[in-house]
Every structure is written in C-alpha cells, then in structure tokens.
Amino acid sequence: MGLICHRGGAEVTINRRNNTRMLGSQGPVLLFAHGFGCNQKMWDAVTPAFEDSHRQILFDYVGSGQSDLAAFDPQRYGSLSGYAQDVLDVCDAYGLTSGVTFVGHSVSCSVGLLASIARPELFERLVLVGPSPCFLNDPPHYNGGFEREDLEGLLSLMDQNYIGWAQYLAPVVAGADGAGRTAGELSDSFCSTEPGIARVFARATVFADNRADLAHVTRPCLILQHRNDALAPLHVGEYLHAHLRGSTLRVLPVVGHCSHMTHPQLVVDAMRPFVDGEQRCP
Amino acid sequence: MYLIDTVPCPVLVTDVDGVILAMNGHALQVTGGSAESRVGQPLDRLMPLPSRLFLQTHVWPMLLKDGSVREIYLQLLDADRQLVPALVNCERHRDGGAECWVWVFFVARQRSRFEAELLAARTRADEATAAVAKREHFLKTVTDAVPGLVGYWDRELCCRFANRGYLEWFGRPHGQVIGAELKDLMDERTLRFSQPYIDAVLQGRPQRFERSQPMADGRQTFALVNYMPDIGADGGVLGFFVLVIDITSLKEAEGQLKLAASIVEHTVDAIMVTDEADLILSVNPAFTAVTGYSAAEVVGRHASLLHAGRRDDDLQAERRRALARQGHWKGEAWKRQRDGNVFLVSEDVTAIGAAPGAPGRRVSVFSDVTEHWRNNERLRHLAFHDPLTGLPNRMLLLERLGHLIDQADRESRNAAIAFLDLDRFKWVNDTLGHAMGDLLLKAVAKDLQALVRHSDTVARLGGDEFVVLLDNVAGRDEVETVARRIVAAVGQDRVVDGHAVQVGASLGIAMFPQDGRDREQLMVHADRALYAVKSAARNGYRFFDELSDSRMNGLPVVGSE
C-alpha cells in the first residue's frame, strides 16, 4: 500500500480506500468523522443544514462502511494514530492545507485531536460530539466511567453479535484454519463487514487513553456534551473542557450518545456560530 | 398494551430516549418487578453495564440510521441480578404522532451456549492466525532488514518467500515473485551458473559459492551465495533457503589489499611494522636484505635490536616527540645489521592512528644510505683537505682556528699558531722536479703530524707553506720545544726516491691571546714573524713578540745551527 504516499495518484487511491464523498462546492470545509462501529451515514441528518454554506467531506475509516478492506493493516489500525492518519490522508487527497473544521463523534473526537496535534496548520477548529479521552477509570485522578471488565464485556458482546454472521463461523464449523477474509454481500449490521477488523477497531478505541495528548492541542474546540450519556458522562465533558485550552463546553439536553442522530437540530444550532467563526476561543 | 401481552415472549416499548413506555407480562417475568415500577425508567436499567454500552455504541446508532435491528445479542438482568442472554429485534413505530420503539426479546440460553462455544473456537482459530501473522511479520521485518537477498524455493523451484532485497533484485512486486518459477525470474546466465549448486542443494547438500551477478541498474556485483536445504521429517528435501550477500566492496577491498601486500613484498625499501611499544609485528623481504635478519628472527622482538649503540638518546627522544605530535618522523639513524656491521639508514616512520578500540601501529620504511653517506663524506673531505698531503686546507684551517680561539677564550687557555715555510724547497723542485717536490711535501707533512698531538692541527696552505695550530699550551716554553723539534725534524737528512735531500724549516709563531685575539690578527702576526725568520737567517723560529715592531724587536732568530 506504499502507493498511498504519492500525491496525484493518491487522490484516487485514498478516495476509494476511505470511500470519501464531498457535498457542496464552495465555502469552508467541514470534515465529518464517524464514531464507533458505524459509517459516514450517521451524519445524514446534520449535513443538509450546511449544504449552502460549506463544502462537506465525509468518509469511512478503513475497516468501516464501504472502505477498502484490503487496505486494512492491523498494525496501523491497532491504535488511534492509524485512524488519525486516515483523517490526514483524506485532507491530503483533497489538497487541503488549512481552514478545515473537524467534526467528530465519540472516539473520532480523540482521532481528530491527534490529527490536529500532528498538523495544527491544517485545522481551524474542532467540534467534538460526545467525546471521551479515556473510558477507563483511573482512580483517584480520573473517572472515565468504566472498569476494565465492563469494557471487556463490551468487546465480548461485540464478538457475540458479529458471530451471527455465517461467514465468521463457517471456518470453525467446517474445521478450516484461516480467517477466510471475504468482502461479500453481508449484512450492514454495525456498519462493518469484517468481524476481525471490527474487533481491532473496538480494542483500539475502547482502551485508548488520550488524556496526555490534551495539553498539546492548540486549536479551539467546541465540546457538545450530552446531558445524560451512558458512555460519556457529564463529568468527562467537564474534564475535557478543563484540559483543552480555549475550549467551549455546550451541554445538550439529550439522553443517549448520538445527539447528531436523535436531535440533529440541537447539534446544528450549537455548531453554527462556532463554525461560522463567531464563537472563537476566548 | 393489550396487544403486546398476546405476544408469547418479552416485549418492551420505549421512546427515542430509551425510556420504557410499556412492558408485557413475559418481560416482567424475566426482569421481575411490577409494570408500575418499570415504566418511566430507562431501558438501560434492565441490562448489565456492557450491554448498556453496546446499546449506546452500536444498537442506537443502527436504529436511528436504519429504523430497525435484527437478532442483536444482549443480556438482561433477572430479578436476582443474574444475566439472561437474549436476542433482540427492535423496530420504530409511530404511535399517533409520537415515535416509539418496540423491543422484542428471545431468551435463548441454549443457543447462546452453543454460540459461545463456537465463538471460543473461533477466537482460538483467530488467535492462531494472528500468531502466524505476527510470526510472518516478524520474519519479514527481520529478513527485510538483512542487507542481502533472502528467499526460499521449493522442490519445483517455485519461489515461496522473498525478502525486500530479493524482490528488488528481481525488479518485480511481491505478487509476481511468490509462486513464480526460478527460470522465469532469474537471468539465463546467472541461472546456468547456479544450476549445479541448485542440483546439489536439492540432493540435501548445503552450497556456498561466489558468483558475479548483474543488478537492475546494470552494475556488475559479486555475491556470496548460500543454499541451505530444507529437509522434511521424512528426510526428503522440501526445498532450499537462499541467502545472497553482496560482497562487491569486499572483493574490491581484497584487491586493494593484495596490491598493497604485493607492493610491500616487492619494494626495495625495508618496511617494519611495530606496535606502539616498538615491538616488531612484521617486516618485508627488503628488511631482510637490508638488515640480514629474517622475519622469524625479529617478529615479537623490540625494534631496539637494530640500534647501533651509538649515543643517539637525543635522536630517539626527538623521534618519539615527533611521532607523538605529528605522527611522523623522517631522518637518518645508525643501525646495526645482524652481523654487527653498523650502517646508516634514511628512515621514514609513520604512526597509524589508533582507531577506538584498536591498537596503534608504526610503519617504518628505511633504506641503507651508508654508501651515499660515504660519498658525501669523501666530497666533504676533498673540499676541506689538501689533495696531495691529506692535510686540512686553508678553509678547514680557518674554521679550526676560529673554533680554537672560541674555545681558548672561553676556557682562558693559551694557544699558538705557527706559520712554517720550507727552506730550499724551490731548489729541490727546480732541480729534482715537481714529482720529487711532491714526495718531499708528503714526507714533511707526515713528520709534522707525528710531532703534534691529536688535538693539534697541521694544515697546508699551498706550495711549501704549512700552518701548525697548538691548542692548550702551558706557555711559551712548551711552544718553543715543539718549534725546536719541528725545525730539527724537517731539517734532518732524508732520502726521497733515492735522492739525498735536505731542506730547512722557518717558523713564525704568534701566541693567543698575547699576540692577537682574532684569526686575522694571529695569522698576520705569525706571518710577520715568519717573514722575520726568512729575512734574517732561515731555518729557525721566532715569536711575534720578539719582532722589532713588537716590544722585543731586533733579537736574533733562534736557529738550530
């Protein structure tokens, strides 16, 4: 996959690899990054609001949605920095060098922060929907909300749901040895067509701890915190606000983790002044 | 409410925030509690934490995106907080205007257990696959880091493994090399050359050979090739491993070394390599020719075995200093050959800087310059001596006189200079011939030398003029004794070449420091004293201070007659 590094040819390769899509043809760039086990479609309720004012770029991380599964490298995608590289690759494929507003959901928030540390000049600002820098508790310093066994339970649950797929079980039943990796027409459940890949993604994100990176973020962030979010509780949003210099915290009156899907208008209204540059870091 | 109670499995209705709007009896049977206590509570409460997380991270996004999910595996908590595995279907409904979500659960302990076993098996298989992948990755990383070509060919000569270097050599991507046949990958010449070794390794014998091989850029390289047979459990050869190392630079260096060694072997200069303590490490054949020592006799011994034993402490010290400071010394030194003969060498010593961790070396290149030195000495002798008598000439006399004055002055001692002229020499020359005259001069020179001390000087200025320098004389009496003996010796009857010859000697003497403190004054005064002898009586001597223009002018010449 070394070809990905080369400009020119890169656009085609990256665009296909990450299943990129651009809406609109003028205005500043909004780059939407999806969260856990899903794909770019989760932004469908938000993007119409910015159709006239922005160019909007959507993509799937390698291993998710309609991305090119052959490009999946367990080494690279075994940590969040691999996904941050996807973000930078997509920007490069569109020839972007500055002015990008990154909009991320859940684990993508950490991915976006890492990307902005790597290339601060590329990003104007970041919108973080339901972020958490670390799900694990680290008493007495930090309360991420979960113990390791909770998160292991989540991973196991993911596995058990993926096994519903005949293809995943077939090799075991047939007594074959390898993980016959096929990109056939499978259910779109959980937006991933490959359980092995989903597991790598899950492990990389669920156990990530990006607290130490927060101090290196230099771009202004808008934190959209859900009032009642089982995954990213209120105090986690407050922790981020305290540790991200120049950040703004908005608490949305939302139950759950997916306000951009359940209450898109709230998200749009909160984003609007920030992405229009009216609400800058103090 | 009535409707969901007719469904024969647990059913729940929630709003978009997951707050329970209704539950049927089967649901309450699983979860315990009353409808009143459950309604209005979040659905989350019925589940253990991992399931709640899964609900938030996966199920709700799916539901919101697609409007339904099928056969999602979740866990519920029963009245005793025990886990109840369940498969869930959920669908969005519009109840009048409000949106609601209907959740149907299939409690499936049996199926879950079966699936859990399958999952465990699958997990083990995945782990095994991952371990293999990890090993392969490790192997690939290691072999790619090897600065050479690493590969594996099976019995049919199909490539099964090639590291990056091998791929680059073939100039083809991984996909075109793995599985391809050797004959399609390797150029014909290299293949033809390697064929016998390939045949041999397939018989189970490891092979190691060198070959020249062309590179993609046209460069011709030298390679050291290793073939290792891969022997299976049944003893048969399954294939072979290849390790090819580029030894071009080694080959070139080897050529350079051979050339250097050949120069060392054949040069006419003696070469001696020592360590920093001057222990001899190696010598070349010219060394043996020059010193008479064979290599075996000197290696391991101290270089001082060549020292001539002359007092050359200063020279050695200077040599050490120069080597330490500039790493180089060039000069001449006396050395001793094996047979004891002392000879002069022109030597060029270079200290080869010690690399960190490696001892320093000194390379001494020298040649015998004794003959050259002797020739120089001869020329020097000619320049400063009278060819007829071998006595110092005027030039050397002046030098010695200057030297004598300096020394006598410094040490407050007396010295004398005597000008000597032969009486009747012209007669001998004119009547018996120049040859006879020359013989006479030689005889006189010999006599004069016999009369003075080694530290004194007898010189011939030309013709029949001689000068005698007497160093460190006690006083006038001593000089007078010598003068008297000279007059007597020169004036003796002698037979030269069968002819009886008799000449006389006239001496004019000047004393240092009384009669002069520099060369010119002493010589002029000695000459004046001689002139006085000649003009008076000849054949005698006179001191300058006896002359009329000195205090004692007018005194008679002291003669031998």
Using left for φ > 0, alpha for ψ between -120 and 50, and beta otherwise, residue B341 falls in beta
Do B307 and B359 belong together in one domain? yes
Across the interface, whether the CB atoms of A41 and B64 are under 8 A apart is answered: no
Q: Around Cβ B473, how many Cβ atoms within 10 Å? A: 21
Confidence grade of residue B448 (pLDDT, cut at 50, 70, 90): very high
Across the interface, whether the CB atoms of B118 and A261 are under 8 A apart is answered: no
Mean per-residue pLDDT, B60-77: 85
Contacts of A92 (CB under 8 A, 6+ apart): A7, A10, A14
Confidence grade of residue B5 (pLDDT, cut at 50, 70, 90): confident
Mean per-residue pLDDT, B53-82: 86
Exposure letters A33-62 (e unless 16+ CB within 10 A, then b): bbbbbbbbbbbebbbebbeeebbbbbbbbb
Residue with tokens 């530290």: B455
Strand-by-strand arrangement of the A100-105 sheet? A21-23, A55-58, A29-33, A100-105, A123-129, A221-228, A248-255
Contacts of B165 (CB under 8 A, 6+ apart): B144, B146, B147, B148, B149, B150
B115 falls within a domain: no
Cα B414 from Cα B408, distance rounded (Å):
6
Residue B172 has a pLDDT of 85
Confidence grade of residue B251 (pLDDT, cut at 50, 70, 90): confident
Q: How far is B169 from chain A (nearest CA, A)?
A: 18
Q: How far is B253 from chain A (nearest CA, A)?
A: 36
Residue A35: both structure tokens together: 């969260």
State whether residue B92 sits within 8 Å of chain A by CB.
no
Residues 26-45 of B with CB under 8 A from A: 42, 44
Confidence grade of residue B392 (pLDDT, cut at 50, 70, 90): very high
Amino acid at A185: E
Do B345 and B394 belong together in one domain? no
Residue A39 has a pLDDT of 84
Provide the domain count of chain A.
1
Residues of A in contact with B72 (CB under 8 A): 161
Across the interface, whether the CB atoms of A106 and B19 are under 8 A apart is answered: no
Do B163 and B296 belong together in one domain? no
In whole angstroms, how far apart are CA A185 and each of A66, B71, B485?
A: 11, 18, 138
Cα B198 from Cα B168, distance rounded (Å):
21
Across the interface, whether the CB atoms of A38 and B62 are under 8 A apart is answered: yes
Helices then strands (H, E): number in chain A? 9, 7
Cα B308 from Cα A12, distance rounded (Å):
85
In whole angstroms, how far apart are CA B480 and each of B457, B469, B476, B515?
A: 17, 13, 6, 15
Q: How far is A131 from chain B (nearest CA, A)?
A: 12
Residues of A in contact with B70 (CB under 8 A): 189
Residue of A46, A62, A205 whose CA lies nearest to A127: A46
- State whether the Cα torsion B295-B297-B302-B307 is positive or negative: negative
Q: Which of A38, A75, A129, A157 to mutate against chain B (most B CBs within 10 Å)?
A: A157
Amino acid at B516: G
Residues of A in contact with B17 (CB under 8 A): 255-256, 262
B428 falls within a domain: yes
Question: Tell me: the pLDDT tens digits for B126-181?
Answer: 788 788 888 878 888 888 888 888 999 999 999 998 988 888 888 888 888 888 99
Residue A182 has a pLDDT of 31
Q: Tell me if A37 sits within 8 A of A158, measured CB to CB.
A: yes
Contacts of B446 (CB under 8 A, 6+ apart): none
Residue A257: both structure tokens together: 């983790």
For chain B, percent of residues with pLDDT exceeding 90: 34
Identify the closest residue of chain A to B60 by CA–CA distance: A258
B122 falls within a domain: no
More confident: B215 or B399:
B399
Residue A200 has a pLDDT of 84
Residue with tokens 């390289």: B221
Residue B305: give its domain's CATH number.
Answer: 3.30.450.20
Q: How far is A121 from chain B (nearest CA, A)?
A: 32
Cα A232 from Cα B242, distance rounded (Å):
56
SS3 B84: strand
Q: How far is A244 from chain B (nearest CA, A)?
A: 24
Q: How far is the first Cα of chain B from the last one, in angstroms, to the nearest whole number?
A: 176
Residue B276 has a pLDDT of 83
Residue B462: give its domain's CATH number.
Answer: 3.30.70.270
Report the mean per-residue pLDDT for chain A.
83
Do B234 and B275 belong together in one domain? no
Domain boundary (B251, B283, B316) is at: B251
> Does the structure show a pLDDT above 70 at A4?
no
Q: Around Cβ B312, how many Cβ atoms within 10 Å? A: 15
Residue B145: both structure tokens together: 């880091």
Alpha-helix runs per DSSP H in chain A:
9-17, 80-93, 107-118, 148-162, 166-174, 195-206, 234-243, 259-262, 264-275
Cα B447 from Cα B440, distance rounded (Å):
11
Residue B356 has a pLDDT of 64
Please compute, for residue B504, the number of CA atoms within 13 A of its CA located in the half-sphere on the CB side.
Answer: 14
Across the interface, whether the CB atoms of A156 and B128 are under 8 A apart is answered: no
Residue A133: give its domain's CATH number.
Answer: 3.40.50.1820
Q: Around Cβ B169, how many Cβ atoms within 10 Å? A: 24
Do B176 and B92 belong together in one domain? no
B141 falls within a domain: no
Do B369 and B493 belong together in one domain? no
Residues of A in contact with B51 (CB under 8 A): 153, 157
Residue with tokens 């196991």: A156
Angle at B310 between CA B308 and CA B316, to 5 degrees: 85
> Does the structure show a pLDDT above 70 at A176?
no
Amino acid at B109: R
Across the interface, whether the CB atoms of B133 and A74 are under 8 A apart is answered: yes
Confidence grade of residue A3 (pLDDT, cut at 50, 70, 90): very low
Residues of B in contact with A74 (CB under 8 A): 130, 133
Helix (H) or strand (E) holding B225: strand B220-231
Helix (H) or strand (E) holding B533: helix B519-536
Confidence grade of residue B548 (pLDDT, cut at 50, 70, 90): low
Do B180 and B302 belong together in one domain? no
B264 falls within a domain: no
Residue A193 has a pLDDT of 52
Cα A26 from Cα A54, distance rounded (Å):
6
Do B430 and B525 belong together in one domain? yes
Using left for φ > 0, alpha for ψ between -120 and 50, and beta otherwise, residue B119 falls in alpha
Q: How far is A188 from chain B (nearest CA, A)?
A: 9
Do B349 and B415 belong together in one domain? no
Mean per-residue pLDDT, B87-114: 81
Residue B247: both structure tokens together: 């030894």
Residues 255-274 of B with CB under 8 A from A: none
> Does the structure show a pLDDT above 50 at B298?
yes
Residues of B in contact with A160 (CB under 8 A): 73, 112, 115-116, 119
The size of the A-B interface in CB pairs under 8 A is 123
Q: Which of A172, A192, A226, A263 to mutate against chain B (most B CBs within 10 Å)?
A: A172
Q: How far is B244 from chain A (nearest CA, A)?
A: 26
More confident: A251 or B251:
A251
Class of residue B63 by CB neighbours under 10 A (exposed 0-12, middle 13-18, buried 19+): buried
Question: Tell me: the pLDDT tens digits for A212-232?
Answer: 999 999 999 999 999 988 889
Question: Tell me: the pLDDT tens digits for B315-354?
Answer: 888 888 888 888 889 988 888 999 989 899 999 999 886 6
Do B95 and B154 belong together in one domain? no
B112 falls within a domain: no
Confidence grade of residue B424 (pLDDT, cut at 50, 70, 90): confident
Amino acid at B270: A
Q: How far is A160 from chain B (nearest CA, A)?
A: 7
Do B95 and B210 belong together in one domain? no
Residues of B in contact with A203 (CB under 8 A): none
A152 falls within a domain: no
Residue B15: both structure tokens together: 């709003």
State whether residue B342 sits within 8 Å of chain A by CB.
no
CB-nearest partner of B50 from A36, A153, A178: A153
Residue B527: both structure tokens together: 């000459």
Look up the domain containing B300 and give its range: 270-373
Please compute, for residue B310, the number of CA atoms within 13 A of its CA located in the half-sphere on the CB side.
Answer: 14
Q: Annotated catalytic sites of A, by residue?
A: 106, 229, 257
Across the interface, whether the CB atoms of B56 and A146 are under 8 A apart is answered: no
Pairing of strands A29-33, A55-58: parallel
Q: What values do phi and psi take at A183, rounded to 5? A: -105, 50
Question: Tell me: the pLDDT tens digits for A106-115?
Answer: 999 999 999 9
Residues of A in contact with B120 (CB under 8 A): none
Confidence grade of residue A268 (pLDDT, cut at 50, 70, 90): very high
Look up the domain containing A132 and give its range: 2-144+204-275
Residues of B in contact with A171 (CB under 8 A): 122, 125
Residue B169: both structure tokens together: 């050599």
> Does the structure show a pLDDT above 80 at B358?
no
Pairing of strands A221-228, B207-214: unpaired
State whether residue B214 sits within 8 Å of chain A by CB.
no
Residue B97 has a pLDDT of 72
Residue B285 has a pLDDT of 92
Q: Tell me if A126 sits within 8 A of A219, measured CB to CB.
A: yes
Residue A183 has a pLDDT of 31
Cα B451 from Cα B444, distance rounded (Å):
11
Q: Which of A1, A41, A160, A173 to mutate against chain B (most B CBs within 10 Å)?
A: A160
Question: Tell me: the pLDDT tens digits for A200-209?
Answer: 888 888 899 9
Residue B110 has a pLDDT of 64
Q: Which of B45, B47, B54 to mutate against chain A (most A CBs within 10 Å)?
A: B54
B214 falls within a domain: yes
Provide the domain count of chain B.
4
B454 falls within a domain: yes
Residue of B44, B37, B17 whose CA lies nearest to B98: B17
More confident: A183 or A207:
A207
A197 falls within a domain: no
Contacts of B535 (CB under 8 A, 6+ apart): none
> Does the structure show a pLDDT above 80 at B59?
yes
CB-nearest partner of B65 from A41, A156, A172: A41
Residues of A in contact with B73 (CB under 8 A): 157, 160-161, 164
Report the mean per-residue pLDDT for chain B.
86
State whether residue B54 sits within 8 Å of chain A by CB.
yes
CB-nearest partner of A178 from B53, B57, B129: B129
State whether residue B116 sits within 8 Å of chain A by CB.
yes
Q: Tell me if A29 sits within 8 A of A100, measured CB to CB.
A: yes
More confident: A180 or A45:
A45
Do B389 and B532 belong together in one domain? yes
Residue A240: both structure tokens together: 């981020």
Q: What values do phi and psi take at B484, rounded to 5? A: -65, -45
DSSP state of B397: H
> Does the structure show a pLDDT above 70 at A88?
yes
> Does the structure show a pLDDT above 90 at A55?
yes
> Does the structure show a pLDDT above 70 at B553?
no
Domain boundary (B218, B251, B284) is at: B251
